[in-house]
Amino acid sequence: MDEKVGPGGKGHELALIEEHPILDFVHGEKVRFFFDGKELEGFEGEPISMALHANGVRIYRETAEMHRPRGFFCAIGKCSSCFMIVDGVPNVRTCITPLKAGMEVETQHGKGNVPDSNDGRAYS
Ligand code: FES
């Protein structure tokens, strides 16, 4: 992976803190994933929403009734602000779900449609 992908698309760096006076950062392997069909880059194992944030994405879902945008709120898996559709599964808490190579992440509009449980995929 030579080409940089980040805020604004290809050719931009990820918006991450690289150095800190008292913290060391250890990242997983750099991988590509998809957000609403757009290819982005992140580090495997980091929360999906963190990878999106580093790419300039701040809105993860839209509320069902008022269609209001939602993004990070608690960032520890205790609310529903970061619900997104991940690999076809709605209502995934992206602040606590690790990023994997090739994941397809979509903005969730409303409550999301629950997929057919008999389609052979493993939902957890
Ligand atoms: S931001 Fe609260 S559960 Fe993810």
Q: pLDDT tens digits, residue range 36-58? A: 999 999 999 999 999 999 999 99
**How high is the pLDDT of residue 12?**
60
- With H, G, I as helix, E, B as strand and everything else as coil, classify residue 53: helix
For residue 10, name the pLDDT band (cuts at 50, 70, 90): low
User: Could you identify the atom of ligand 1 that is nearest to the CA of residue 74?
Assistant: 2
User: Could you identify the atom of ligand 1 that is nearest to the CA of residue 78?
Assistant: 3
> Which residues neighbour 81 within 8 Å (Cβ) at sequence distance 6 or greater?
60, 61, 70, 71, 72, 73, 74
Our count of domains for the chain comes to: 1
The CATH number for 67's domain is: 3.10.20.440
Amino acid identity, position 105 = V
CA distances from 64 to 21, 39, 110 (A): 43, 27, 4
pTM of the model: 0.80
With CA atoms as reference, report the closest residue to 48 among 79, 77, 5, 11. Answer: 77
Measure 69 CA to ligand 1 centroid, in angstroms. 14
Residue 95 structural domain: 5-109
In a domain, 41, yes or no: yes
Asked whether residue 110 carries a pLDDT value surpassing 60, the answer given is yes
**How high is the pLDDT of residue 39?**
97
Q: Is 53 in the pocket of ligand 1 (CB under 6 A)?
A: no
In a domain, 101, yes or no: yes
In a domain, 65, yes or no: yes
User: Could you identify the atom of ligand 1 that is nearest to the CA of residue 96?
Assistant: 4
Residue 47 is given by DSSP the state: B
